[in-house]
């Protein structure tokens, strides 16, 4: 199997969690990596190089696509890094006959829903910024390649990936490293999937995303941010009109990139 964005925070965790369970692990990133086991096959590639991406996916049976720009940025950069990069990965998957691709989407495709509402993957997208827009496009590309070309695609709307929650919002949005790996393993191995979208978030008592779709992929999260609640600074009672995206949904968060 292959991991794009293998040098990133989530990519590094997935790499460590899977390397001893696969016969060959192709690691793709635009920064240099060093193989840490005989199973690892390292490729320094910019995902905008379609031919290089396709070549690296030769004889791969599954791809976890984590590469791209991870936060708000000017729209041209997001289109180039996230949308174009994802298209090149999906084209490589199609051309090489890869069995399954897992696309890293984001909880921020729905950041304008209020915290009082439980959001499911079937609800309309309400991105909280340009980054969220790029992830809506990533999901749309995945859907297109599943419907038109018969690829098996799973989109994971990843929560706040941290070793431990560090702010109040994380009590709802935290994704622990253990649960992140569990969700990805489930997305890689779930049988009979043409296209699926699921929220990847830990079993937080205060979560506002429905995780039933993730359970359908064969994984139920085990960690709960509530265990860390007493360590976090209080920020008052949650207002009914507060948005799930928190600060990400503020105008200034995007205006500085326009």
- Report residue 209 as tokens: 């995303």
Beta bridge partners of residue 65, listed in sequence order? 4, 103
> Which backbone phi and psi does 210 adopt, to 5 degrees?
-80, 135
To the query of whether residue 131 is one of the catalytic residues in this protein, the response is yes
CA distances from 40 to 92, 138, 141, 198 (A): 20, 27, 28, 28
> Which backbone phi and psi does 105 adopt, to 5 degrees?
-95, -160
Residues in the chain: 258
Q: What is the largest CA-CA distance in the chain?
A: 53
- Report residue 102 as tokens: 């897992």
**Are 79 and 85 within 8 A, CB to CB?**
no
CA distances from 198 to 55, 69, 183 (A): 29, 21, 9
Catalytic residue among 113, 131, 145, 253: 131
Token pair 């994380």 is at which residue?
A: 170
- Chain centroid to Cα 174, Å, comes to 13
- Report residue 149 as tokens: 């070309």
Active site residues: 131
């Amino acid at each position: 199997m292959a991991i794009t964005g293998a040098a990133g925070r989530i990519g590094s965790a997935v790499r460590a969690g899977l390397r001893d369970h696969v016969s060959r692990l192709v690691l793709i990133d635009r920064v240099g990596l060093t193989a840490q086991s005989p199973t690892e096959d390292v490729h320094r590639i910019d995902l905008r190089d379609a031919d290089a991406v396709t070549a690296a996916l030769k004889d791969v049976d599954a791809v976890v696509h984590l590469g791209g720009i991870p936060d708000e940025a000017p729209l041209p950069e997001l289109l180039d890094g996230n949308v174009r990069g994802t298209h090149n990965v999906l084209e490589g998957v199609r051309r090489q006959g890869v069995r399954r691709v897992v696309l890293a989407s984001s909880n921020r495709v729905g950041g304008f829903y209020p915290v009082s509402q439980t959001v499911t993957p079937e609800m309309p997208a309400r991105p909280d910024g340009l980054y969220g827009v790029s992830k809506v496009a990533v999901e749309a590309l995945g859907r297109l390649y599943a419907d038109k070309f018969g690829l098996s695609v799973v989109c994971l709307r990843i929560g706040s990936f941290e070793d431990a929650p560090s702010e109040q919002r994380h009590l709802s949005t935290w994704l622990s490293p253990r649960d992140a790996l569990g969700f990805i393993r489930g997305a890689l191995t779930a049988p009979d999937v043409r296209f699926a979208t699921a929220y990847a978030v830990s079993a937080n008592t205060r979560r506002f995303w429905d995780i039933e779709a993730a359970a359908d992929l064969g994984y139920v999260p085990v960690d709960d941010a509530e265990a860390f609640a007493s360590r976090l600074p209080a920020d008052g009672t949650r207002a009914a009109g507060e948005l799930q995206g928190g600060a990400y949904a503020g105008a200034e968060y995007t205006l500085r990139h326009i």
